[in-house]
Structure 1
Amino acid sequence: MKQKIAVLGPGSWGTALAKVLVENGHDVTIWGNKKEQAEEINTAHTNKNYLPTITLPEGLKATTELAVAVTGADAILFVVPTKAIRSVASDLVAVMDTKPVIIHASKGLEQVTHKRISEVLLEEIPEDKRQDVVVLSGPSHAEEVAVRDITTITAASKNLVYAEYVQTLFMNDYFRIYTNTDVIGVETGAALKNIIALGSGAISGLGFGDNAKAAIMTRGLAEISRLGVAMGADPLTFIGMSGVGDLIVTCTSVHSRNWRAGDLLGRGHNLEEILANMGMIVEGVSTTKAAYELSRELDVELPITEAIYSVLYENQDVKTAARQIMLRDGKSEEEF
């Protein structure tokens, strides 16, 4: 059944998801705050700053007016940076004229509050203004989804009916959606894998080989699971698409901006210079700070996250931080 869907955020991932939805026969409007970008999508059917080689469907509409995007919407998909979620959600409430399903495909933790994105959305959008909030997450590069490469991700909601609704919206012969009811686990895996991707990139930039890369991913998954379980997640979620699946794709590919940022750190580049030249938000940098602070609150040990925090926020040398992890007291693997 054809649905009217507003996509908030015309970056690479928002544009790729909007393309999937249009190709699935839905009426889709994408919203952003840059007039030139909206005009490009509407007239040239491209978004060259984010997906330079992709021609977008002519049916995809773009606007800079939030009210225009969401009028009559059956579903609203957030794909804006984590730091913008609360303000955009607050603005949204004033212009909504339906009671849509709220979906988000952003990955991070809010600064200061350390809240998951769905928690922020539930706070800002009153219950009488929305249906449920559904998380869309998993191993997926926008560049590959945009060219219809085979991709599988997860739609998570405490209410399975809404996860299945999102599954129906997106699923086709190249984009497969699995459902899950563990919202905490899916969101935690999505956010924290970006931290480990920074570390994996740094390992590469330092010149270490496959052994080191396997080590940081495996021990990184242990950290993600440990913090996630402390937050109330099902540990089995972390061996699924939004756990180990997302971790692998983000820690091993040049498509990953977090991996690229880490690689440049390992090669000796300055963090401010890296972020200025990246052209897109590197969510792992802010998530590292939030996760580090949250781990202190919950008394959960996260040695890789702590090492990356020391590099990003305390000017620790990358190679020294890696050496200090290796010289920690011996542990049993069963201790995580």
Structure 2
Amino acid sequence: MATIIHTVAFRGIDVINIEAQVQISNGLPAFNIVGLPDKAVAESKERVRAALHAMGLSLPAKRLTINLAPADVTKEGAHYDLPIALGLLVAMEVLPSDCLDSSVVIGELALDGRISKVNGALPAAIHAQGQHMSLICPKACGHEAIWAGDIDVYAPDTLLRLINHLKGVQLLNPLTLNIADPVLDETGPMPDMADIKGQETARYALEIAAAGGHNLLMLGPPGAGKSMLAQRLPSILPPLSPREALDISMIHSLSGSLPEDGLMRARPYRDPHHSASLPALVGGGQKANPGEISLAHRGVLFLDEFPGF
């Protein structure tokens, strides 16, 4: 019977249920990962093997098969290391068979058994919360995952620490979100529109654009203050609501650009160079990372030297 560990795949900011199905059977020793894995996922078997060896555990000399289902969804990223390792430990009867039935697991393994940070912890946590499940993620991702709210987040720093928790030897405490006021108005210092002296017409145009959410075309010679005006536009936009903050944070979580506390508290301001490539602007690439347009969601996208794009 196959062991099943719940994990996720990302398609943009959408999250897809993935099952890491692990089976150990008799036959020539082999370690195969199937289910449309990319290069990072295919290499996870070596990271898993080394991490288990660092704890004094060896994989059995049998046929090990890992199926990441559904098989028609491409699996990208190193966050499958931890669910694969835990699935093997359950199949090897090191862990209880039902210890992960209600948990979503993500995390990359280092060769010494440390659990390394991965992108996408916040979308994964929101997905797990919707499934009424807990989340197991790296310690470095816990600060962003807890913003999903109403979910138990366990964030161990090593595989050994997680094993002890799952065996009931040394339990981890779920992370808690300490926030008294849901209004996200503590954005810290930012360029202020009050810094602009003169430019009454341009400031009035920015106020209209901010109030109505309009696009704005600024024309003028170099040094006229176009960039300075654009940098101060976020300061007159309304504060983020909790829902808007989560929307923005999910996008920045996938790109690995969240602040230390795990939540975007200010509207983003993005000013890509005019030589930026098309994937850098609209997103894409091998892992479909968010582009500058997505990263500016609910904020300001300033395209300086616009004819150069």
Report the TM-score range of the alignment, normalised by the length of the smaller protein.
0.3 to 0.5
> Larger % of strand: which?
2
Instruction: Normalising by structure 1, report the TM-score.
Output: 0.30
Larger-gyration structure (1/2): 2
> Larger % of helix: which?
1
